[in-house]
Amino acid sequence: MGLNVIMMGAPGAGKGTQAGRFARERGLPKISTGDMLREAIKEGNPVALEAKALMDRGELVDDGTIIAIVRDRLTKPDTRPGFVLDGFPRTVDQAVALDAFMQERARGPLVVIDVVVPEQELVRRLGSRRICGTCGANAEPGKTVCSTCNGELVVRSDDDGQVVVERLKVYERATRPVLEYYRARPTFRVVDGAQAPERVANDVDSMIDDAAASGGRGKLGGERRSSGRAADQAGA
Ligand code: AMP
């Protein structure tokens, strides 16, 4: 059975970083819908260019387009041992479509990790986030050029002031219900993303392994949280 992981979290929670690290360490493909869209925009793909206006405003691209992109990606053979999804699903309709796909293909349970960070911290992080203008990787803290390709670091076009506010609103409205959709599953876990990065990484790893081990057992399970502060506060 594959290790199928969904990394959830608000913009700025660090889900992309954790998804990338975990995927690398376990030899699984990281599937980031945001990265795929940005890549397709660079290549001049007409559907992606249409989506760009929505992305620049902090709004969501329509479910039909995103679901088709993800279904197509998940049929590639490299996803058979599992995958790490980052930025998908962002709506309940996307989550329902993913469940249908997983069932159709008998791909096994989904492990869902919610990386929780208080809102003031999200805004602070998004204000200082930089990405590589060449390869699009998230910049590592303290670095002045990209650690992957030495490219120049730039502000992401949707990390600017008002757009950040809009993205956080969209997250509350469209994506928070996805957490409720998954919360009762035995494979749902909450991680405190406000801790030091190495502690977040440790918690993510142990929560994923623990959830995967309990994946086949029972229909309902209590939500489990890492012990840290933000997760305790995040009744939300
Ligand atoms: P991200 O890099 O995940 O923050 O995504 C950047 C932008 O791409 C989002 O603000 C949306 O406009 C779009 N996007 C990425 N993933 C999705 C998704 N699953 N559903 C709808 N829009 C998405």
Task: Express each pLDDT in 120-167 by its tens digit.
Answer: 899 888 888 888 989 888 888 778 899 889 999 988 877 777 888 899
Sheet holding 30-32, edge to edge: 30-32, 82-86, 3-9, 110-116, 188-192, 224-225
How many angstroms separate the CA atoms of 199 and 209, rounded?
15
Q: Which of 15, 125, 185, 189 is catalytic?
A: 15
**Is 185 an annotated catalytic residue?**
no
Query: Measured from the CA of 91, which atom of ligand 1 is nearest?
Result: 20
Q: Which helix (H) or strand (E) holds 72?
A: helix 63-74
Q: Give the model's pLDDT for residue 226.
A: 74
| pLDDT per position as a tens digit, 8-52 | 999 999 999 999 999 999 999 999 999 999 999 999 999 999 999
Counting other chains too, the contacts that 154-162 makes at CB distance below 8 Å and 24 or more residues apart are 154/130, 155/129, 155/130, 155/131, 156/129, 156/130, 156/131, 157/55, 157/56, 158/55, 158/56, 158/57, 158/58, 159/126, 159/127, 159/129
How many angstroms separate the CA atoms of 30 and 22, rounded?
9
Q: Give the model's pLDDT for residue 139.
A: 85
Q: Give the model's pLDDT for residue 235.
A: 39
Question: With contact defined as beta carbons under 8 Å apart, do 57 and 110 qualify?
Answer: no
Q: H helices then E strands: how many in the chain? A: 10, 8
Question: With contact defined as beta carbons under 8 Å apart, do 102 and 6 qualify?
Answer: no
Residues 6+ apart with CB under 8 A from 107: 2, 4, 74, 101
Reply yes or no on whether the pLDDT at 231 is more than 50: no
**Is 15 an annotated catalytic residue?**
yes
Mean pLDDT computed over every residue of the chain: 90
The residue whose CB lies within 8 Å of the most ligand 1 atoms, and thus the one to mutate among 36, 90, 162, is 90
Reply yes or no on whether the pLDDT at 176 is more than 80: yes
How many angstroms separate the CA atoms of 149 and 152, rounded?
9
